[in-house]
A = this chain, B = another copy of it.
Amino acid sequence: MSKNEIPYKIYLSESELPKSWYNLRADMKNKPAPLLHPGTHQPLKLEELTPIFCEELAKQELDDTTPYIEIPEEIRNFYKMYRPSPLVRAYCLEKQLGTPAKIYYKFEGNNTSGSHKLNSAIAQAYFAKKQGLKGVTTETGAGQWGTALSMACAYFGLDCQVYMVKVSYEQKPFRREVMRTYGAKVTPSPSDTTEVGRKILKEFPGTTGSLGCAISEAVEAATTQEGYRYVLGSVLSQVLLHQSVIGLETMTALDKYGVKPDMIIGCAGGGSNLGGLISPFMGRKLRGEADYQIIAVEPASCPSFTRGVYAYDFCDTGHVCPLAKMYTLGSEFIPSANHAGGLRYHGMSSVLSQLYDDKLIEARAVEQTSVFQAAEQFARIEGILPAPESSHAIRVAIDEALKCKETGEEKTIVFGLTGTGYFDLVAYQKYNDGQMGDYIPTDADLKRGFDAIPRFPGNME
């Protein structure tokens, strides 16, 4: 098929929607390290996970051998309301850059949650409903995950309790109102509704909260209410499994038009988008069927891959969750207050961490002013106002396309556009006013984070 026939947007038909998620771990020779019990440092067993997580999701978390896991029909029906998502050929951007590179992006922002998070939220809500639960609890920082989960719970008639970091609850009232419109109960964290919340409030009366604290409250709320479980929107292997729908659609669309990507680029915070986007491509790479250059893009202000260590670490600042082996900056690491976007998690998904350690993917750290420059350029020529997170991938895609302009190489670049920036206008305003700064942590900043990583035989010793 000639290149001229490739439309601006490739929309697969609903019958081409994946029928199974792809579990990349099944094709990995070096499996991601198992979750450990925070007290005993022994791999966690299913029965240790199920008091906190839904049973089916706990099984998915532990399953590193089954390559394809069927997507239940109820989830597929929900997916049909906003999927298959478009794979867009960035014709206008290519023309403006004057590059011989072909640029594609998989756009996950065409749903009310505004991001790819909904792909896993609906799966987690479904399995909770199927288990006969009354509801789920979770935490949210910026609010993307909380919004997605609220939508999913509304659809299945499940109670949804969101602990929202207090400073976000107050400064992002619109995100909060979207969740409320979908029927979620949104509580500013720390709150007096949990023991851990009351304890923190007593100790730090003026605190504006943190993700670590909100996680602790959500976990307590899940384990102390009959018929509730806790759910999480990133980092976990089950989340990457659900997000593989992004990569599967992308691969089907590219295959359909006979396009072979040279390079796949995605932003990486906890890793749910990048992991989902690259999964089936990495599968081909691991099976020796194809090769791709895969680039994880992270903020220079929170550089888990490029400056972190590969070790077992706490997943949360409250230290109530299992230990995960990951590239990490330490659970005490907090990016500078001037860091605008998400991608502020201290660690990276175990699956991606193992792939990075095996040199199967590479990583780049980019500074935020250059990220917003890319966002502005992209918005003006491609029409979509991107989320700051997604714009990290745009930055590197543009950089690579400009390299092709110099070398004359006709590379095919695919990147993940995870979502829209409609709820990130405070950050855009900062950029528009010329007030956006950059920040790169010093070695001393990093050391403080590393010092908080647990020491035990075989870890950080």
A→B interface (CB under 8 Å): 7-9, 11, 13-14, 77-78, 80-82, 88, 91-92, 110-112, 114, 151, 154-155, 173-174, 177-178, 180-183, 375-376, 379-385, 420, 422-423, 425, 428-429, 431-432
Q: How far is the CB of A101 from chain B (nearest CB, A)?
A: 19
- Which residues from chain B contact A432 at a C-beta distance below 8 Å? 177, 180-181
Q: Judging by beta carbons under 8 Å apart, are A379 and B7 in contact? A: no
Given A110-B110, A181-B432, A383-B151, check contact A173 B425 (CB 8 Å).
yes
A155 partner, pick from B114, B151, B380, beta carbons under 8 A: B380
Given A92-B81, A182-B380, A384-B112, check contact A173 B429 (CB 8 Å).
yes
Closest 9 CB pairs of A and B: A174-B425, A154-B380, A8-B80, A177-B425, A112-B385, A177-B429, A7-B14, A180-B432, A11-B11
Q: How far is the CA of A151 from the CA of B151 in the complex (A)?
A: 29
Q: How far is the CB of A435 from chain B (nearest CB, A)?
A: 12
- Which residues from chain B contact A180 at a C-beta distance below 8 Å? 428-429, 432
Q: Judging by beta carbons under 8 Å apart, are A111 and B7 in contact? A: no
- Which residues from chain B contact A9 at a C-beta distance below 8 Å? 14, 80-81
Residue of B nearest to A79 (CB): B8
Q: How far is the CA of A180 from the CA of B425 in the complex (A)?
A: 10
Q: Judging by beta carbons under 8 Å apart, are B376 and A181 in contact? A: yes
Residue of B nearest to A427 (CB): B177
Q: Using A7-B14, A180-B429 as known contacts, list a sample of 18 further A-B pairs with CB atoms less than 8 Å apart, ordered by residue number in A.
A: A7-B13, A8-B77, A8-B80, A81-B382, A92-B155, A111-B383, A112-B383, A112-B385, A114-B422, A151-B383, A154-B380, A174-B422, A177-B428, A178-B422, A178-B428, A181-B385, A181-B431, A182-B379
Q: How far is the CA of A130 from the CA of B181 in the complex (A)?
A: 44
Q: Judging by beta carbons under 8 Å apart, are B425 and A383 in contact? A: no
Q: How far is the CB of A72 from chain B (nearest CB, A)?
A: 16
Q: How far is the CA of A181 from the CA of B31 in the complex (A)?
A: 44
A181 partner, pick from B82, B382, B423, B428, beta carbons under 8 A: B428
